[in-house]
Chain A
Amino acid sequence: DTGVSQNPRHKITKRGQNVTFRCDPISEHNRLYWYRQTLGQGPEFLTYFQNEAQLEKSRLLSDRFSAERPKGSFSTLEIQRTEQGDSAMYLCASSPEGGSSYNEQFFGPGTRLTVL
């Protein structure tokens, strides 16, 4: 399968713990995005990378959240000191620089976080 993959698919943690999610984009895509989706809502943008550079961050991305894409390939999203309000589906998407699929974002299956 050459789509966007995310791990883990599910994560249950206790409030105050740190969690880290991984996203592997489609191999030739140099753009990578993180979104958060809560029940009954559409995805909300968190951050965007072009290659290894983090070019955009939403105000939703508090200082407890950090994202990296060290070699311009996979990305990690870390949440420190988790809160119950962090419970959501975290979606990763990637897109190519150009070509016919330019502007389309291809989404992974998501990581569902539950904070107890």
Chain B
Amino acid sequence: AQSVAQPEDQVNVAEGNPLTVKCTYSVSGNPYLFWYVQYPNRGLQFLLKYITGDNLVKGSYGFEAEFNKSQTSFHLKKPSALVSDSALYFCAVRDIDQAGTALIFGKGTTLSVSS
């Protein structure tokens, strides 16, 4: 079965410091991987995706993520955090070798950036 784990419920960083939000996944085939961000009272916003190709994926708002097949990880990173990055972040996976198009989401990680 497909699954996503986000091991940290909350990540706290100071503004200007680098941030990492962790994600590991489990699929039987090859994965499509996604990061979404959710601000209060708003829907999920797409940040970036890994489909194929370069393992380092760059996305919106200066975020990037690195696909590591051997560790089945897709950690979200940003070199310098902003207070406005504070939000709820979701990692999601889809197994491209299985029928169906549903995304499987992790439980989410709350990022808190202090000034």
Residues of chain A at the chain B interface (Cβ within 8 Å): 4, 31, 33, 40-45, 48, 56, 58, 91, 93, 95, 103-110
Contact = CB atoms under 8 A, between A and B. Distances in A.
A103 B106 contact: no
Which among A31, A43, A44, A107 has the greatest number of chain B C-beta atoms within 10 A? Answer: A43
Interface residues of B, number: 24
Interface of B: 4, 32, 34, 36, 41-46, 49, 51, 90, 92, 94, 100-108
Interface centre among B36, B41, B42, B101 (most CB of A within 10 A): B101
A105 B93 CA distance: 12
Contacts of A41: 107-108
A103 B103 CA distance: 10
Instruction: For the complex of A and B, list the 8 residue pairs with the smallest distance between their C-beta atoms, beginning with the closest.
Output: A42-B105, A45-B102, A107-B43, A107-B44, A109-B43, A43-B105, A42-B90, A108-B43
B101 A42 contact: no
B89 to A, nearest CB: 10
Contacts of A95: 101
A113 to B, nearest CB: 15
Contact of B43 (A4, A31, A48, A103): A4
B107 A91 contact: no
